[in-house]
Structure 1
Amino acid sequence: MSLVSLQPIRDHRPDLRDAANRFDDWLDLHAQSGFIDTRKVVRDLSGDLTSSEIIETLNAIRNLEIAKVGYRIVDNSGTFVSPIFPSVDDVPPVAFDAYGDEFSVERKHIVQIYELCK
Protein backbone atom coordinates (compact mmCIF):
# COMPACT_ATOMS: atom_id res chain seq x y z
CA MET A 1 0.00 0.00 0.00
CA SER A 2 1.30 3.43 -0.94
CA LEU A 3 2.19 6.01 1.70
CA VAL A 4 0.02 8.58 -0.09
CA SER A 5 -3.42 8.58 -1.64
CA LEU A 6 -4.16 9.94 -5.08
CA GLN A 7 -7.88 10.09 -4.31
CA PRO A 8 -7.79 13.93 -4.46
CA ILE A 9 -6.84 13.63 -8.14
CA ARG A 10 -9.79 11.33 -8.78
CA ASP A 11 -12.06 13.79 -6.95
CA HIS A 12 -10.78 17.00 -8.57
CA ARG A 13 -9.65 15.70 -11.96
CA PRO A 14 -11.95 12.87 -13.09
CA ASP A 15 -10.30 13.06 -16.52
CA LEU A 16 -7.13 11.74 -14.84
CA ARG A 17 -8.83 8.89 -12.95
CA ASP A 18 -7.23 6.15 -15.08
CA ALA A 19 -3.82 7.82 -14.90
CA ALA A 20 -4.17 8.21 -11.11
CA ASN A 21 -4.98 4.50 -10.86
CA ARG A 22 -1.84 3.63 -12.82
CA PHE A 23 0.26 6.03 -10.71
CA ASP A 24 -1.17 4.39 -7.56
CA ASP A 25 0.04 1.01 -8.79
CA TRP A 26 3.45 2.51 -9.51
CA LEU A 27 3.61 4.23 -6.10
CA ASP A 28 2.84 0.95 -4.35
CA LEU A 29 6.17 -0.29 -5.70
CA HIS A 30 8.24 2.90 -5.30
CA ALA A 31 6.88 5.18 -2.57
CA GLN A 32 9.11 3.74 0.14
CA SER A 33 11.79 6.16 -1.06
CA GLY A 34 9.58 9.10 -0.05
CA PHE A 35 9.76 10.75 -3.44
CA ILE A 36 8.77 10.27 -7.05
CA ASP A 37 11.73 10.02 -9.43
CA THR A 38 10.45 11.61 -12.64
CA ARG A 39 12.97 9.62 -14.69
CA LYS A 40 11.53 6.34 -13.43
CA VAL A 41 7.93 7.49 -13.85
CA VAL A 42 8.49 8.34 -17.51
CA ARG A 43 10.42 5.14 -18.15
CA ASP A 44 7.98 2.88 -16.33
CA LEU A 45 4.65 4.43 -17.30
CA SER A 46 5.21 5.67 -20.85
CA GLY A 47 3.94 2.35 -22.21
CA ASP A 48 0.63 2.75 -20.35
CA LEU A 49 0.10 6.52 -20.31
CA THR A 50 0.68 9.30 -22.82
CA SER A 51 3.26 11.95 -22.02
CA SER A 52 0.39 14.41 -21.53
CA GLU A 53 -1.25 12.12 -18.95
CA ILE A 54 2.04 11.75 -17.08
CA ILE A 55 2.67 15.51 -17.06
CA GLU A 56 -0.92 16.35 -16.09
CA THR A 57 -0.88 13.79 -13.28
CA LEU A 58 2.43 15.09 -11.93
CA ASN A 59 1.06 18.64 -12.09
CA ALA A 60 -2.06 17.52 -10.20
CA ILE A 61 0.11 15.79 -7.59
CA ARG A 62 1.93 19.09 -7.06
CA ASN A 63 -1.12 21.38 -7.28
CA LEU A 64 -3.14 19.26 -4.84
CA GLU A 65 -0.14 19.26 -2.46
CA ILE A 66 0.26 15.49 -2.51
CA ALA A 67 3.94 16.16 -3.18
CA LYS A 68 6.21 19.14 -3.58
CA VAL A 69 8.81 19.66 -6.27
CA GLY A 70 12.44 19.28 -5.33
CA TYR A 71 15.77 18.61 -6.99
CA ARG A 72 18.47 16.02 -6.42
CA ILE A 73 21.91 15.48 -7.87
CA VAL A 74 22.84 12.27 -9.66
CA ASP A 75 26.39 11.24 -10.46
CA ASN A 76 27.51 10.09 -13.91
CA SER A 77 26.15 6.60 -13.24
CA GLY A 78 22.68 8.01 -12.44
CA THR A 79 22.87 7.36 -8.69
CA PHE A 80 21.36 9.95 -6.35
CA VAL A 81 24.17 11.51 -4.31
CA SER A 82 22.48 14.44 -2.60
CA PRO A 83 19.65 15.40 -0.32
CA ILE A 84 16.58 17.09 -1.77
CA PHE A 85 16.98 20.78 -2.62
CA PRO A 86 13.87 23.01 -2.76
CA SER A 87 15.10 24.95 -5.79
CA VAL A 88 17.54 24.53 -8.65
CA ASP A 89 19.24 27.67 -7.30
CA ASP A 90 20.04 25.77 -4.08
CA VAL A 91 21.93 22.99 -5.89
CA PRO A 92 25.66 23.35 -5.17
CA PRO A 93 28.17 23.66 -8.02
CA VAL A 94 30.09 20.55 -6.90
CA ALA A 95 29.08 17.21 -5.41
CA PHE A 96 30.62 13.87 -4.52
CA ASP A 97 29.81 10.65 -6.33
CA ALA A 98 29.11 7.34 -4.62
CA TYR A 99 32.87 6.72 -4.36
CA GLY A 100 33.61 10.08 -2.74
CA ASP A 101 35.10 11.66 -5.86
CA GLU A 102 34.22 15.31 -6.43
CA PHE A 103 32.58 16.35 -9.70
CA SER A 104 31.20 19.57 -11.15
CA VAL A 105 27.41 19.61 -11.16
CA GLU A 106 26.06 20.27 -14.65
CA ARG A 107 22.43 20.47 -15.76
CA LYS A 108 22.52 16.77 -16.70
CA HIS A 109 23.20 15.92 -13.04
CA ILE A 110 20.07 17.65 -11.70
CA VAL A 111 16.87 15.61 -11.51
CA GLN A 112 13.45 17.02 -10.67
CA ILE A 113 11.68 14.88 -8.08
CA TYR A 114 8.37 15.08 -6.25
CA GLU A 115 8.82 14.76 -2.48
CA LEU A 116 5.75 13.05 -1.05
CA CYS A 117 3.94 14.99 1.66
CA LYS A 118 3.15 12.96 4.74
Structure 2
Amino acid sequence: MTLAERPSLAWDVADLVAQQLLVVPNPLAAWNSDTFWVSVWDSDPGQVLVSLHVPRESADPFIQLKIGFAVTEESPKLQAERIVAAVRRPHPLNGAVVCAGYRECAEAFGYTWPSSLEE
Protein backbone atom coordinates (compact mmCIF):
# COMPACT_ATOMS: atom_id res chain seq x y z
CA MET A 1 0.00 0.00 0.00
CA THR A 2 1.07 3.55 -0.64
CA LEU A 3 0.05 6.70 1.14
CA ALA A 4 -2.75 8.86 -0.21
CA GLU A 5 -1.86 12.25 -1.61
CA ARG A 6 -1.79 15.35 0.55
CA PRO A 7 -3.48 17.71 1.19
CA SER A 8 -6.84 16.15 1.93
CA LEU A 9 -9.51 16.23 4.61
CA ALA A 10 -8.56 12.67 5.58
CA TRP A 11 -4.95 13.70 6.16
CA ASP A 12 -6.09 16.73 8.20
CA VAL A 13 -8.01 14.33 10.45
CA ALA A 14 -5.16 11.77 10.54
CA ASP A 15 -2.64 14.43 11.56
CA LEU A 16 -4.87 15.57 14.45
CA VAL A 17 -5.35 11.95 15.57
CA ALA A 18 -1.58 11.37 15.48
CA GLN A 19 -0.99 14.53 17.52
CA GLN A 20 -3.30 13.15 20.23
CA LEU A 21 -2.12 9.52 20.20
CA LEU A 22 1.63 9.72 19.49
CA VAL A 23 2.53 11.57 22.69
CA VAL A 24 4.12 10.88 26.06
CA PRO A 25 2.63 9.82 28.37
CA ASN A 26 0.83 7.26 26.25
CA PRO A 27 -2.92 8.04 26.21
CA LEU A 28 -3.71 4.35 25.58
CA ALA A 29 -1.61 2.91 28.43
CA ALA A 30 -4.68 2.20 30.58
CA TRP A 31 -5.92 -0.07 27.77
CA ASN A 32 -2.52 -1.80 27.45
CA SER A 33 -2.03 -0.46 23.90
CA ASP A 34 0.51 1.63 21.99
CA THR A 35 -0.16 3.55 18.81
CA PHE A 36 1.98 2.16 15.98
CA TRP A 37 0.94 4.51 13.17
CA VAL A 38 -1.85 6.75 11.85
CA SER A 39 -2.20 7.00 8.07
CA VAL A 40 -4.32 7.44 4.95
CA TRP A 41 -3.76 4.95 2.12
CA ASP A 42 -4.32 5.55 -1.56
CA SER A 43 -6.51 2.44 -1.79
CA ASP A 44 -9.11 4.18 0.42
CA PRO A 45 -8.32 7.91 0.65
CA GLY A 46 -11.58 8.63 2.50
CA GLN A 47 -10.56 6.63 5.55
CA VAL A 48 -8.16 7.29 8.43
CA LEU A 49 -6.32 4.13 9.52
CA VAL A 50 -4.99 3.64 13.04
CA SER A 51 -2.65 0.78 13.92
CA LEU A 52 -2.09 -0.33 17.51
CA HIS A 53 0.24 -2.76 19.29
CA VAL A 54 -1.52 -4.81 21.96
CA PRO A 55 -0.30 -5.29 24.63
CA ARG A 56 2.24 -2.49 24.79
CA GLU A 57 4.82 -2.43 21.97
CA SER A 58 7.64 -4.02 23.95
CA ALA A 59 5.49 -7.01 24.95
CA ASP A 60 5.82 -10.47 23.45
CA PRO A 61 3.58 -12.14 22.38
CA PHE A 62 1.68 -9.25 20.82
CA ILE A 63 -0.81 -8.41 18.10
CA GLN A 64 -0.94 -5.50 15.70
CA LEU A 65 -4.41 -4.13 15.03
CA LYS A 66 -5.66 -1.94 12.21
CA ILE A 67 -8.88 0.07 12.49
CA GLY A 68 -10.40 2.21 9.75
CA PHE A 69 -12.54 5.28 10.33
CA ALA A 70 -14.54 6.89 7.52
CA VAL A 71 -13.92 10.60 7.06
CA THR A 72 -17.08 12.71 7.05
CA GLU A 73 -17.89 16.35 6.34
CA GLU A 74 -17.76 17.31 10.02
CA SER A 75 -14.78 19.33 11.22
CA PRO A 76 -11.41 17.55 11.36
CA LYS A 77 -11.16 18.36 15.08
CA LEU A 78 -14.49 16.66 15.89
CA GLN A 79 -13.60 13.65 13.77
CA ALA A 80 -10.20 13.31 15.46
CA GLU A 81 -11.84 13.45 18.89
CA ARG A 82 -14.32 10.74 17.83
CA ILE A 83 -11.51 8.50 16.55
CA VAL A 84 -9.37 8.94 19.66
CA ALA A 85 -12.40 8.16 21.86
CA ALA A 86 -13.07 5.02 19.81
CA VAL A 87 -9.57 3.61 20.37
CA ARG A 88 -9.57 4.55 24.07
CA ARG A 89 -11.88 1.68 24.97
CA PRO A 90 -11.38 -1.77 26.45
CA HIS A 91 -10.51 -4.58 24.05
CA PRO A 92 -11.83 -5.92 21.78
CA LEU A 93 -12.17 -2.67 19.83
CA ASN A 94 -15.13 -2.42 17.49
CA GLY A 95 -14.01 -2.86 13.87
CA ALA A 96 -10.39 -3.73 14.67
CA VAL A 97 -8.67 -6.34 12.52
CA VAL A 98 -5.59 -8.32 13.54
CA CYS A 99 -2.87 -7.79 10.92
CA ALA A 100 0.19 -9.30 12.67
CA GLY A 101 1.31 -11.02 15.84
CA TYR A 102 0.38 -14.19 17.67
CA ARG A 103 -2.89 -16.13 17.64
CA GLU A 104 -2.90 -16.75 21.41
CA CYS A 105 -2.54 -13.05 22.09
CA ALA A 106 -5.35 -12.18 19.67
CA GLU A 107 -7.67 -14.65 21.35
CA ALA A 108 -6.68 -13.47 24.85
CA PHE A 109 -7.80 -9.93 23.94
CA GLY A 110 -11.03 -11.15 22.30
CA TYR A 111 -10.01 -10.88 18.63
CA THR A 112 -10.54 -13.42 15.88
CA TRP A 113 -7.38 -14.67 14.21
CA PRO A 114 -7.75 -13.93 10.47
CA SER A 115 -7.35 -16.74 7.94
CA SER A 116 -5.02 -14.46 5.94
CA LEU A 117 -2.41 -14.92 8.70
CA GLU A 118 -2.55 -18.72 8.67
CA GLU A 119 0.80 -20.25 7.81
Q: Give the TM-score normalised by structure 2.
A: 0.29
Highest RCO, 1 vs 2 (Cα 8 Å, sep ≥ 6): 1
If the length of structure 1 is used for normalisation, what is the TM-score?
0.29
